[in-house]
Chains A and B, each alone.
Chain A
Amino acid sequence: MRKALGLLVFALGLALAQTPLKVGVILPLSGASAVAGKAALNGIQLAADEVNAQGRVRLELVVVDDGTDPAKAVPAFTKLMTVDRVDLVIGGLASGVTFALSGPVKQYGPLFLCIGAASSVVEQAFEGYPLFFHYHPWDYHNVAAALQFFQSLAKDHGAKKVAILYEDGPFGSAGIGVYKQQLERLGYQVQAEPYKAGSGQFTPILTRFRAFAPDILYWIGYDVDALPIATQTRQVGLRPKLIYGAPPSWPIGFEKNPLSNDVAGMTAWLPTVPNAESRRFVDAYRKKYGELTEEYMAPMGYTIVKSLALALERAGSADKNRIAEALAGLRMNTPFGPLAFKPSDTGRTKYQGFGPEIWFQFQYLEGSRRPVFPKDKAARPLRYPGEYYLR
């Protein structure tokens, strides 16, 4: 009997290894989140290559571009469901796009492995959907990690005033009121102003901030705003002690620009992270692509595919419900640290992967990003005040 069962499992495994499982990948390969989207795709492809080379399961990726635009994302997703007929989808990087996808996802019912979409608006939208696995921390996790940093800035450096520039889309403006209140609870005076991402016009707002004389200039937006803010802050004579940014990705070449020096931000991963899984990922990434990435979406995509392959192997079936079951009970090490799913803090969704523990603060110092907070992850002390003077 045991022998027969063993043979059956072996035969099932063999069948799984020979029949490729189609996995839909919907990412922003163009538009505002393209840098992060392409990094995520690189990570996904790297992991799929490794998984296929091992031969225990075979994955076939069907990649579509959501254009960081709900109007493009919904038809692209519908194509995955109706033309490519996939049962598993990896995607959902930008919050606005993922929110728009919540309806079609519920309609077609795939196993949805969500790579980004931190906004809790997305958490509400997927409430009760049983096949939703959210790997990325939620916005309240991000806020908790950032607030810890701001608490330290107030306590250790005497920072008192924060000027916030936030883009007026779902990414920047969701929860800004709560964020403001929480900073005020830490003892900060806060002035917050919205702006249009990509408009490049910050001088009027920054000029107004001058009267407020903030210790920290905090912007929540996209990579297109990074250089205009760093430049125009100096051009209007604003003298913050720290410029702190929270874009999903940073522009290409920004680290080589002297204006990036001392600009701080938050990330979940850097290639220098001293973690065995991370080192393995970095080596494999460099080998495949001939370069290194600093985008944390690359290891996030890699982690998702690795976890999926493991779950698929354990489930011994291509059935999405069986895979979801296996995924729910998974424990594994990743470049970010250990991964295990549990209900989200609000209880709205059942499977939440990472929490605030993966975030850390970095600062652009001498042409690269160096971890500076919390202390156990810091490679260098934070340079505060930063030197954002006339040049």
Chain B
Amino acid sequence: MELLLQTLLNGLLMAGVYALVATGLALSLGVVGIVNFAHGEFLMLGAFLSYLLFAFRGLDPLFALGLAFLAAFLVGALTYWGLIRPVLKAPELNQMLLTFGLSILLQNLALLLFGADTRVVAPPYQAATLALGPFFLGAVPLGAFLLSLALLLSLQLFLTRSRLGLAVRAVAQNRLAPGLLGIEAEGVYLLAFGLAAALAGVAGVMLSVMLYASPSVGFLFTLKSFAIVALAGLGNLKGVVPAALVLALAEALVSTYLPGGGGLVEAVFFLVLFLALVGRAWRGA
């Protein structure tokens, strides 16, 4: 029983980071209607920013959080303005190829600038642990989980309580009608794409402390985010947190209880993605 509860706690904490990354992806998909394969590279940007500030300025990654949010927002907004906007009306395949190309470009840019080396930061609290009776909670994963929760709640409040947020939701529901009401769709798209990148940037800072910074750090999380977004329903923001929870718990349970389960972790999200798509096809039929 103790092992089961600890496993569930491990899964729960991981779900926070997954949700944060996947929410950005869902936002760009739901509002802008773009499948952004370069989402993981915004995450990488946050991870490298955290590393560089730590390595060259001695700044704690906590300070990098706000900066990564702003920097990734800016890069996301510029990406939207320069690359996404011109292909908004192009066929979906063209859009996907564009973001895929952007992903390769950004990864290779990072390879040129920093090399393929794995880089780590060393804040003093990195391995801090809270022991609650027989249970252990890593302070950083717990902090990342709480921060993810706070950011997702803020996003929810923004989307449901502010005029701008309502405009974002309106554009997500119908691309033409909000224009008739005077809502500037392009501004909303830019905001949504920037926010999506900013959330990934913040997740990148967290991952630089929990894992490492490298040009390929975002790839795996993008893949997992696609599984989460598919499970939640394409573009459905409310479904992202439960879907992230399902994926993270499934991974933790498989890893703990299946013999050799650690090697099957990657298979879990493919299975989740497969089941989600098949389930949807059945329901739609």
Give residues in A with beta carbon < 8 Å to B. Answer: 29-31, 34-35, 38, 165, 168, 193-196, 198-205, 207-208, 211, 223-224, 226-228, 230-232, 234-237, 251-254, 256-259, 390-391
Contacts and interface: CB of A to CB of B under 8 A. Distances in A.
B115 A207 contact: no
22 contacts: A29-B116, A168-B262, A168-B263, A193-B261, A195-B262, A196-B266, A200-B210, A202-B262, A203-B10, A203-B252, A204-B7, A204-B251, A205-B256, A205-B261, A207-B7, A235-B137, A252-B117, A252-B120, A253-B119, A391-B124, A391-B125, A391-B127
A204 B249 CA distance: 10
6 smallest beta-carbon distances between A and B, as pairs? A34-B116, A235-B138, A204-B255, A194-B263, A195-B262, A257-B122
A390 B262 contact: no
Contacts of A193: 260-262
B6 interface: yes
B56 to A, nearest CB: 12
Contacts of B126: 231, 257, 259
Q: Which of B117, B120, B211 has the most CB of A within 10 A?
A: B120
B210 A195 contact: no
Given A205-B256, A259-B122, 6 more contacts: A30-B111, A38-B117, A193-B261, A207-B6, A236-B136, A390-B127
Contacts of A35: 116-118
A228 B116 contact: no
Given A234-B129, A235-B141, A390-B131, A257 B120 contact: yes
A38 B116 CA distance: 9
A232 B127 CA distance: 7
Given A204-B10, A227-B211, A253 B262 contact: no
Given A231-B138, A234-B127, A237-B136, A254 B265 contact: no
B80 interface: no
Contacts of B141: 235
Contacts of A230: 127
B176 interface: no
A256 B55 CA distance: 10
Contact of A31 (B10, B116, B124, B136): B116
Contacts of A200: 207, 210-212
B166 interface: no
B128 interface: yes
B225 interface: no
Nearest to A33: B116
Nearest to B138: A235
B180 interface: no
Interface of B: 3, 6-7, 10, 14, 55, 111, 115-122, 124-129, 131, 136-138, 140-141, 207, 210-212, 214, 216, 220, 251-252, 255-256, 260-263, 265-266
A14 B3 CA distance: 73
Contact of B265 (A199, A227, A237): A199
A391 B124 CA distance: 8
A201 B212 contact: no
Nearest to B6: A207
Contacts of B121: 253, 257
A192 to B, nearest CB: 9
A253 B123 CA distance: 12
A38 B115 contact: yes
Contacts of B212: 200, 224, 227-228, 251
A128 B266 CA distance: 38
B251 A258 contact: no
A109 B220 CA distance: 38
Contacts of A30: 111, 116
Nearest to A194: B263
Contact of A204 (B55, B127, B252, B260): B252
B265 A196 contact: yes
Given A34-B117, A257-B120, A195 B131 contact: no
A34 B115 contact: yes
B263 A251 contact: no
B118 A251 contact: yes
B118 A204 contact: no
A390 B127 CA distance: 7
A315 to B, nearest CB: 36
Nearest to B253: A204
A207 B14 CA distance: 15
Q: Which of A168, A198, A201, A235 has the most CB of B within 10 A?
A: A235
A195 B10 CA distance: 16
Given A204-B7, A235-B129, A256-B122, A198 B220 contact: yes
Contact of B262 (A165, A237, A256): A165
Nearest to A30: B116
Contacts of A195: 262-263, 265
A275 to B, nearest CB: 27
B115 to A, nearest CB: 7
Given A195-B262, A204-B256, A208-B256, A237 B131 contact: yes
Contacts of B252: 203-204
Contacts of A211: 3
Nearest to B51: A253
Contacts of A253: 55, 119-122
A199 B117 CA distance: 16
Nearest to A200: B211
A237 B14 CA distance: 17
A201 B261 CA distance: 12
Contacts of B207: 200
B137 to A, nearest CB: 8
B129 A204 contact: no
A279 to B, nearest CB: 26
